[in-house]
Structures are given as C-alpha cells and as structure tokens.
Structure 1
Amino acid sequence: MADTGTVSLMAVDELDTRVLRLLLEQPRTSVRECARILGVARGTLQARLDRMEREGVITGTAPALSPAALGHPVLAFVHIEVTQGHLDEVGDALAGVPEIVEAFSITGGGDLLTRVVARDNAHLEDVIQKLISLPGVVRTRSEVALRERVPHRLLPLVESIGRTARK
C-alpha cells in the first residue's frame, strides 16, 4: 500500500528508528511493552507514535494477509493502457475488481500498473478479460510472477534512515 503521492518529509531521529524497527519486528506488542523494551516512558512512546501517525509515517495497523493462503496463489502484474481522458474513470472501476490488490498510475509502457491475484491461470484470464471490457481500457499486458525474491519489507529502509539520522 505504498502512497507515492506528495507527502511532507518528517525528520526521523534515533528513537523514532528504534520505535519503527520494534513495530516492524514485533507488530503485536503493546505500547506498554514497547516502552519497556525501548527503555522510554509510555507517554514518550505514545507521543512518538501519535506524531508518526499524524505525519503519515505510520499508515495502519492491519495484519498482513496472504492471498495465496486465501486461495489466490497466482500473482500477476497487469499493465493497462487507457484512452486519453479516462484515467480517473478506469481507476475508479478497478476498485470494484476484488482480485486487484494494488493499482498505480505509472509512466512508461501503459498508464496503470495493477497487482492482481487469482485462484489459477484460468481465473487470471477471467480477471484480465474483465479489465479489457472496462470502458476506457485500450489494452492490457500481463506478467505472471513465478517466485517472490524479496518480500515486501521496510526494515532495511528504516535502518538506513536511522543510520543517516545518527550522522
């Protein structure tokens, strides 16, 4: 759920980095326990969490779900070319397709890039046919993922930012 829109930059210090690392490594830990582990007052930690939520650094607390475990093991990236002037309408229509788990406006080949999950290849074909039939869609191009090589992660980025903050 990457938000690639314009956001304001928040200065992240060493404590923020430690807080974020702990949240990523142990997401089910209570605020009280996090404060104890980090050696800070609960109020201090809560203030940091509130500020990072307000600034958009922390964007949610929902569990990470596995589409494969939910019966949708096929993952494809579908590029969608849209008729000029119809990007918003097509984007809105994509929200009505449950198999689309992410969609982005992009530069390069195509106008939109979607991440699509499916039960099997036949189901993926059905989803792609549904996309092609949307008003404003000119064509699609699909790439099926064979194996995840680097899982979605943010801890290395957080640690890199933390190292920069200490310099």
Structure 2
Amino acid sequence: MQLDELDRSLLILLLERPRAGLREHARTLGVARGTVAARFLRLQEAGVISGLAPAVSPRAFGYSMLAFVHLDLRQGSLDAVVEALEAIPEVTEAFTVTGDGDLLCHVVARDTSELETVIQRIIEIPGVERTRSQIALTQRIPNRALPLIRSNRWATRPARPPQSAAT
C-alpha cells in the first residue's frame, strides 16, 4: 500500500493521542471528518492499523516475569506445536525465526516456579525437541512504531505484509 503525507500525519496523531476521536483528528489535520474516516478505514483494511484494543500489561496483574523461550522443533511439526502453544495462556507471542531454533516465544509468569511449570508444559508438546530460555530483566525500549512513522523513510517504498508460517 502506498501511503501519503496525510496517512502519515493521521498515523502520528493516532499514536500520540489515541483517545481523541476522528473528528478531532480531522480538525487538527484541516480536512473533513469523512476524509479522515475513509483514510482510517483504508489503513485498517490494508493492515497498517492492526487493532484498536488497549495495550494491556501482564505485569499490572501479577505476571512480573517475561522470558524468551527458544524452541527447536521436529521437522513438519510447526503447525501442531503452534496450535498447542495457543492453549497455554502464559505464551503471549510466538515467532518463527532464523538462526538457532525454530520458534521464539514470549512467556510471562508470576515467579520462577511458575515459569518452570510453563516451560515444562511447552517441553511436553509433541514436536518440541529442545528449549532454551532467557529471562528479561528490564525493558529498555517498549514496542513502538511512532519513530518509524516520523522518520519518513518508510514512505519511499511500500512494505509487503508479513507472510504467515502456513504459506
């Protein structure tokens, strides 16, 4: 999708002031509310805006530990392992990766004992051959997109959407 300066300005406003309505963003941008609504919908449909849910911190309700768990998988077991991981609520994200390991999972836990229990559940999944884990000490840079949008370097070539592991 080719994005223009109005798209970029709208994305910056949405990230800087997520609680403001489209009407307020339209006033700030000096365009009609319908224009902003149409751009917003187009950005959603193209996958540029991927959600409207609040960002929830597991730490706020007791999950004070974050671990990165690398999984080595038996050939041909990726889809079944991912399906089994989805049944473990403490696995908050999983990525197929290059290099050492096949999957990288973000796992939250209340303490080291619970983390060990979660890792044991992961190890028991058919197709998981080995795990390696690292405990995150401090998040130094939160997940962010605003600096990318502000950089304006992204506008020179359209991005391709990420492909799922199933394709």
Cα distance, 1:32 vs structure 2: 1.0
**Matched position secondary structure for 2:59:** coil
**Which residue of the partner structure matches residue 163 of structure 2?**
none
Of 41, 44, 57, 2:48 maps to 57
Alpha-carbon offset, residue 161 of structure 1: 2.9
RMSD value, Cα: 1.3
Give ranges in structure 1 of 5+ residues lacking alignment.
1-9
Q: Distance in 2 between matches of 1:108 and 1:16?
A: 36
Residue 76 of structure 2: aligned partner: 85
Residue 28 of structure 1: how far off its partner (Å): 1.2
Quick one: distance in 2 between partners of 1:17 and 1:83?
Answer: 43
Aligned partner of 1:141 among 129, 132, 136: 132
Percent of matched pairs sharing the same residue: 56
Which of 28, 43, 48 is the aligned partner of 2:39? 48
| Structure 2 CA distance for aligned equivalents of residues 124 and 55 of structure 1 | 37
1:99 aligns with 2:90: yes
2:106 pairs with 1:115 = yes
CA distance in 2 between partners of 1:46 and 1:78 (Å): 41
Deviations 1:41-86 (A, max 9, x none): 0011011111111111111100001110021010000000111111
Matched, 1:11 2:11: no
Count of residues paired in the alignment: 156
| CA shift for structure 1 position 163 | 7.7
Question: Which position in structure 1 is the counterpart of 2:160?
Answer: none
For the structure 1 residues 34 and 52, does the alpha-carbon distance in structure 2 shift closer, same or farther, using more than 3 Å as the test?
same
TM-score normalised per structure 2: 0.90
Distance of 1:81 and 1:51 partners within structure 2: 39
Counterpart-to-counterpart distance in 2, 1:54 and 1:23: 16
Task: Measure, in 1, the Cα distance between the counterparts of 2:68 and 2:42.
Answer: 35
Q: Which runs of 5+ in 2 are unaligned?
A: 157-167
